[in-house]
Amino acid sequence: MDALLAALADPARWRLVTLLAERPRPVGVLAQLTGARQPQTTKHLQTLERAGVVTSQRSGQRRIYALRSAPLRDLAAALGRLADTADRAGGSRETFERYGLNLHTERLAAEGSGWADGRSFRFLRSLTGSPELVWRHLTEAGLLARWWAPDDLRVSELVFEAGPGGRIVLEYRDAEDADGSDPVAGRAEGVVDQARPGEHLAYRLSPRLPDGGLAFTSHLDIGLRPTGTGTDLDVHWRITDSAVDSADFVAGIEIGFGQSLDRLAAILAADSPDTDDTNTDMRSTT
């Protein structure tokens, strides 16, 4: 497949393929039709033959070339499978397109400092597990690291000191960036304002721009309410101190944090009952 793709990538060879698709032709005629010299045309045809897409045979003093359709059909099928994968409903591609639409809207709106101040979001989730267990997933670094990043990203550094005045550091990278060579996907720093275990958590978190400046300050107010099947989580998210360059970050809040909470819900639903006894004293993870 690689040899075929390389052979077809050249415009001159692609022109020869289109001519041979009509009917078999000799080298001399192909050279005339393409306006190229015959030795050059012969080299291109030999490349196509080595790639398996054309075949040739001698007829008297001439060499006739013909197109082989099977490799092209195989290539078309492979391309079709790629297109089907890309068009598959849901998943990363759909998220990418949703983010693109949000990004366009937010960049148009970002005309000056404070442009997004007062913007708010609300997230509601019904979670498996007691408020005490959910609280641990919201405040203990070892559990937070399992879910506190959007899809396709992983937490690479995390500190969460779950008491008033406690420090918060969150950094994440692409999930497939195994050696850390790709730039950091996001970093935020903040502080805990209120913490009533199993009931209420409030903190401020400020994403960092590439130059180190603050994109905005997010104020998160999280309530936990016990239910007959677990815990209802109610998250209020409010923006202040928004910089002009924060549009890229604001555009991803609803999608990204929503994905994180969905992952939290899935983890709580899948974990065994003895999860509550797991040792999670770590403060950071890489």
Write out the two tokens for 279: 């040792």
Asked if residue 279 has pLDDT above 50, the reply is no
Residues of the chain with CATH 3.30.530.20: 91-277
Structure tokens at 101: 């639409």
* Annotation: CATH topology of 2-85: Arc Repressor Mutant, subunit A (1.10.10)
Residue 276 pLDDT > 50, yes or no?
Answer: no
Average pLDDT over residues 74-79: 96
Contacting residues for 50 by C-beta, under 8 A, at least 6 apart? 3, 7
Q: State how far the alpha carbon of 264 is from the alpha carbons of 80, 140, 145, in Å.
A: 35, 13, 10
CA distance 105 to 118: 17
Assign a CATH topology to domain 91-277: Alpha-D-Glucose-1,6-Bisphosphate; Chain A, domain 4 (3.30.530)
Helix (H, G, I), strand (E, B) or coil at 263: helix
Give start-end residues of each CATH 1.10.10.10 domain in the chain.
2-85
Beta bridge partners of 230: 128
Average pLDDT value for the chain: 92
User: What is the pairing mode between strands 62-67 and 25-26?
Assistant: antiparallel
H and E: helices and strands count for the chain: 10, 10
Q: How far is CA 134 from the centre of its chain?
A: 27
What amino acid is encoded at 256 in this protein? G
Q: At 8, which helix (H) or strand (E)?
A: helix 2-8
Give pLDDT, residue 273: 65
Report the C-alpha dihedral over residues 237, 241, 245, 247, rounded to 10 degrees: 20
Q: How far apart are CA 78 and CA 179, in angstroms?
A: 31
The answer, yes or no, to whether residue 277 has pLDDT greater than 90, is: no
Q: Is the pLDDT of residue 280 over 60?
A: no
CA torsion angle 121 126 128 133 (round to 10): 50
Strand arrangement of the beta sheet that strand 54-59 belongs to? 25-26, 62-67, 54-59
pLDDT at 151: 87
pLDDT-based confidence at residue 285 (cuts at 50, 70, 90) = very low
Q: Is the pLDDT reported for residue 201 higher than 50?
A: yes
Instruction: Note the pLDDT of residue 61.
Output: 86
Distance between CA atoms of residues 2 and 32, nearest Å: 29
Residue 72 has pLDDT above 90, yes or no: yes
Instruction: Return the pLDDT at 92.
Output: 78
Task: Report the SS3 class of residue 74.
Answer: helix
8 Å CB contact between 123 and 235: yes
- Residue 282: pLDDT band with limits 50, 70, 90: very low
pLDDT recorded at residue 89: 65
What is the pLDDT, as a whole number, of residue 6? 95
- pLDDT tens-digit map of 121-155: 999 999 999 999 999 999 999 999 999 998 889 99
Q: What is the pTM of this model?
A: 0.74
Cβ atoms of 234 and 220 closer than 8 Å? no
Say how many Å lie between the first and final Cα of the chain, rounded: 38
